[in-house]
């Protein structure tokens, strides 16, 4: 049994179709919805997002991100014995997107079926999903139930957007990010902190589901933006301070903050409360919008591959999402 788990590699993938604010505004105008690049940037910091083609599912995006993570780790699918996918936009009602992903990864090396048989499941905590998934994988590895895991956030949020509601449809995009988490005798993940409060289910939700071959309810994103903003800033500050305290560190010991990429104003407010300059915050929301469970691993991979995040540095991940769910992870790369 290993004492720690450690992130040894990252990977990410964005669908090829990049939709700029200008293009989205033009498309919305065709439906009688008014907006502008200035309006979107001022309120969110978002300049573009990526949308998947209709025949592309969350598992397809997850597969590409996992391939890149495995390549970075110099590993193959046969080296993985646990898969956890965080998603709010699964391929199917069931089986899990993780099981579908497992099958696709097994095809990379038909002679080596090691990944088949590995426990694979989805986690649904919306934009906090990757934090929940990473915490779960860490616990399973520490307990000796796995040695090496793929932890993934993957979303095709464009499928659940109401393009007549400019307060939500301009915010979200599609993408996937993944990490390889490995059992280690050296400290990796230092502390975690998870929470949920079901009293706030109505301020951010998709109130629809499958029923008798059709859809019951309204299967598009509904959000009370002001309520989410006010709640998110305080909750993120609390979770961030909790993991720092659990690790017996101070905010000054945090080298990088990698927050959920939802809104630049929320990110700036959280950084200010932690007294972290924006120069120590990984910011990618401008390039791909809010990709829900995929946003943190996407930003983390950007930070690693750009050379900003370096080995031995302390990295703080934090996220908040519908549920209402929130949490944070502090780790040493």
pLDDT for residue 284 is more than 90? yes
- 289's CB contacts (< 8 A; 6+ apart) are 44, 46, 48, 49, 170, 171, 172, 173, 261
Q: What is the pLDDT of residue 291?
A: 98
Q: Distance between CA atoms of 333 and 331, rounded to whole angstroms? A: 6
- 63's CB contacts (< 8 A; 6+ apart) are 101, 104, 105
Q: What is the pLDDT of residue 25?
A: 96
Q: Distance between CA atoms of 286 and 288, rounded to whole angstroms? A: 6
Rg of the chain taking only CA atoms, in angstroms: 19
By percentage, how much of the chain surpasses pLDDT 70?
99
In this structure, the number of other CB atoms found within 10 A of the CB of residue 143 comes to 10
Question: Catalytic site residues?
Answer: 127, 260, 290
What is the per-residue pLDDT across 155-180, written as a single tens digit (0 to 9) for each?
999 999 999 999 999 999 999 999 99
Three-point CA angle 242, 142, 139, nearest 5°: 50
DSSP class per residue in 230-282: HHHHHHHHHHHHHHHHHTT--GGG--EEEE--S-HHHHHHHHHHTT--GGGB-
DSSP class per residue in 176-220: EEEEEEEEESS--EEEEEEEE-GGGGGGEE--EEEETTEEEE--S
pLDDT for residue 1 is more than 70? no
For residue 108, which phi and psi values (nearest 5 degrees)?
-65, -30
What is the per-residue pLDDT across 47-65, written as a single tens digit (0 to 9) for each?
999 999 999 999 999 999 9
What is the per-residue pLDDT across 188-203, written as a single tens digit (0 to 9) for each?
999 999 999 999 999 9
Q: What is the pLDDT of residue 2?
A: 63
Q: What is the pLDDT of residue 111?
A: 77
- 171's CB contacts (< 8 A; 6+ apart) are 44, 46, 262, 263, 289, 290
Among the four given CATH numbers 3.40.47.10, 3.10.20.340, 1.20.1250.20, 3.90.870.20, the one describing domain 4-186: 3.40.47.10
Round the average pLDDT of the chain to a whole number and report it.
Answer: 96
Q: Distance between CA atoms of 63 and 101, rounded to whole angstroms? A: 6
What is the per-residue pLDDT across 114-146, written as a single tens digit (0 to 9) for each?
899 999 999 999 999 999 999 999 999 999 999
Q: Which of 129, 136, 236 is nearest to 177 (CA)?
A: 129
4-186 against 190-332: fold identical: yes
What pTM was estimated for this model as a whole? 0.97
Kindly report the three-state secondary structure assignment for every residue of 65-111: HHHHHHHHHCCCHHHCCEEEEECCCCCCCCCCHHHHHHHHHHCCCCC
Q: What is the pLDDT of residue 56?
A: 98
pLDDT for residue 109 is more than 90? no
Ordered by start, the domain boundaries in the chain are 4-186, 190-332
Q: Distance between CA atoms of 181 and 7, rounded to whole angstroms? A: 4
Assigned CATH for 190-332: 3.40.47.10
Q: Distance between CA atoms of 4 and 190, rounded to whole angstroms? A: 8
Provide the 8-state DSSP code for 327.
Answer: E
Q: What is the pLDDT of residue 113?
A: 74
Instruction: Report the relative pairing of strands 314-321 and 256-259 from DSSP bridges.
Output: parallel
């Amino acid at each position: 049994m290993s004492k720690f788990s450690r992130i040894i590699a990252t990977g990410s993938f964005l669908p090829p179709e990049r939709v700029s604010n200008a293009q989205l505004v033009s498309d919305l105008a065709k439906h009688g919805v008014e907006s502008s690049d200035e309006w979107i940037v001022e309120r969110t910091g978002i300049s573009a997002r990526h949308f998947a083609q209709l025949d592309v599912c969350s598992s397809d995006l997850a597969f590409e991100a996992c391939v890149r993570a495995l390549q970075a780790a110099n590993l193959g699918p046969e080296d993985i014995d646990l898969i956890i996918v965080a998603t709010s936009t699964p391929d199917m009602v069931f089986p899990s997107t993780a099981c579908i992903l497992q099958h696709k990864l097994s095809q990379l090396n038909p002679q080596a079926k090691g990944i088949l048989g590995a426990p694979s499941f989805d986690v649904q905590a919306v934009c906090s999903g990757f934090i929940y998934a990473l915490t779960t994988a860490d616990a399973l590895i520490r307990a000796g139930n796995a040695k090496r895991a793929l932890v993934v956030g993957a979303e095709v949020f464009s499928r659940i957007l109401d393009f007549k509601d400019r307060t939500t449809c301009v915010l979200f995009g599609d993408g996937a990010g993944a990490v390889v988490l490995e059992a280690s005798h050296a400290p990796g993940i230092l502390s975690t902190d998870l929470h949920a409060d079901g009293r706030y289910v109505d301020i951010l939700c998709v109130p629809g589901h499958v029923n008798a071959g059709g859809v019951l309810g309204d299967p598009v994103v509904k959000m009370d933006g002001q309520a989410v903003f006010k709640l998110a800033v305080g909750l993120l500050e609390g979770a961030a301070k909790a993991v720092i305290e659990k690790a017996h560190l101070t905010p000054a010991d945090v080298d990088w903050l990698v927050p959920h990429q939802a809104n630049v104003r929320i990110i700036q407010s959280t950084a200010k409360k932690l007294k972290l300059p924006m120069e120590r915050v990984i910011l990618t929301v401008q390039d791909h919008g809010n990709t829900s469970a995929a946003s943190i691993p996407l930003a983390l991979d950007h930070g690693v591959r750009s050379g900003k995040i370096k080995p031995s540095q302390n990295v703080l991940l934090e996220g908040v999402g519908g549920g209402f769910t929130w949490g944070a992870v502090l780790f040493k790369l």
